[in-house]
Amino acid sequence: MRVLLFLALFTAFLPAKDPRLEGPGLAIKLISENRSVTAGQPFTVGLHIHHYPGFHTYWKNPGIVGMVTSLEWTLPEGFTASEIQWPYPENTFMGEYPCHGYERDVTLLVTITPPREIPAKEITLKTNAMWMACAKGCFPGYETFSISLPVTREALADATAKAHIAKAASEMPSTKHHVKATLLSKVDAPRIKIHFKSKKRLPSKDLYFFSNDRQISSDKPQKFETQKDGSIILTVPRSEFSPEGENSIEGVLKAGKKHLTLKATSST
């Protein structure tokens, strides 16, 4: 009895394991909005990622650290898959390093387009997924996912998957807005300057620009200055990993609770 009591007390004072140092850091699966496929009718599938507390995966431009999540498809003859459609990213950290990714549950969307004729009674979609989940430690992952769907005259919906996909669709950066972006800096200039002008006044705080490529990295301080006319100028050091010769920059502007898809081009 004393031995059991001693062991109980000893165990109670042992340091608890930190779950942020243990993988895999997430639960991940391939989902389809439909339970069947119909010839000639595009439909949406998604890589649904549930992050465990403290973990994140990465956006298409992770920033100074991280690995972008990727999908490599093997499809039946005549089928095509779109590029990944990325919900708006978040600022997060891998250790002490700032990066661009997702801490919330997220679904990366892909549009599958079937051919006009499908001779088979059932088809299988297969994708090789690669990702990295990070907290205090990082855990790369690789898995092949597949979905087999019967071919029917009318598509049969999957309610649960459709809800995840609808949520992700609502998190896509908006392309319908009144913000115009102009690139003020010269090609390959050490500092990037972007002028944002809108018919509606932009917020002066809670602003951040996620560039699609490596022209702006996650470790560079972004300075936003509000002009007299209500427009805003962003000044940020160019990333040392920036591609050369670019005369435009595309990305997502976080303006308060809004996320806007923008392409800044030179006025000259």
Ordered by start, the domain boundaries in the chain are 16-170, 179-266
pLDDT of residue 22: 77
pLDDT of residue 264: 96
Which one of 1.10.3470.10, 3.10.20.30, 3.40.50.720, 2.60.40.1250 gives the CATH number of domain 16-170? 2.60.40.1250
**Residue 89 near residue 102, CB atoms below 8 Å:** yes
Give which of 15, 17, 16, 25 is closest to 135, Cα–Cα: 25
pLDDT of residue 268: 65
Q: Which residues contact 49 (CB under 8 A, 6 or more apart)?
A: 26, 27, 28, 57, 69, 102, 105, 106, 107, 108, 131
Q: What does the chain come to in residues? A: 268
Tens place of pLDDT per residue across the chain (268 aa): 443 343 333 334 434 467 667 779 999 999 999 999 999 999 999 999 999 999 999 999 999 999 999 999 999 999 999 999 999 999 999 989 999 999 999 999 999 999 999 999 999 999 999 999 999 899 999 999 999 999 999 999 999 999 999 999 999 999 999 999 999 999 999 999 999 999 888 888 899 999 999 999 999 999 999 999 999 999 999 999 999 999 999 999 999 999 999 999 987 6
Backbone angles phi, psi at 79, to 5 degrees: -85, 145
User: Three-state SS for 199?
Assistant: coil
Tokens 């459609």: give the residue.
Answer: 85
pLDDT of residue 90: 97
Tokens 């050490």: give the residue.
Answer: 190
pLDDT of residue 3: 36
CATH class of the region 179-266: mainly beta
Compute how many other C-beta atoms are within 10 angstroms of the C-beta atom of residue 110. 18
Where b means 16+ CB within 10 Å and e means fewer, 41-65 reads: eebbbbbbbebeeebbbbbbbbbbb
Which pair of tokens denotes residue 167?
Answer: 């949520």
The answer to whether the peptide bond before residue 15 is cis (omega within 30 degrees of 0) is no
Residue 202 corresponds to which amino acid?
L
- In this structure, the dihedral spanned by the alpha carbons of residues 76, 77, 82 and 83, taken in order and rounded to 10 degrees, is 80
Whole-prediction pTM: 0.90
CA–CA separation, 249 vs 239, rounded Å?
13
Compute how many other C-beta atoms are within 10 angstroms of the C-beta atom of residue 14. 7
Whether the domain at 16-170 and the domain at 179-266 fall into the same CATH topology: yes
pLDDT of residue 10: 37
The beta strands (E) that lie in 186-267 are given as 191-198, 207-211, 223-226, 232-237, 248-255, 258-266
CA–CA separation, 156 vs 170, rounded Å?
22
CA–CA separation, 86 vs 37, rounded Å?
24
Which pair of tokens denotes residue 38?
Answer: 């119909």
pLDDT of residue 198: 92
pLDDT of residue 17: 63
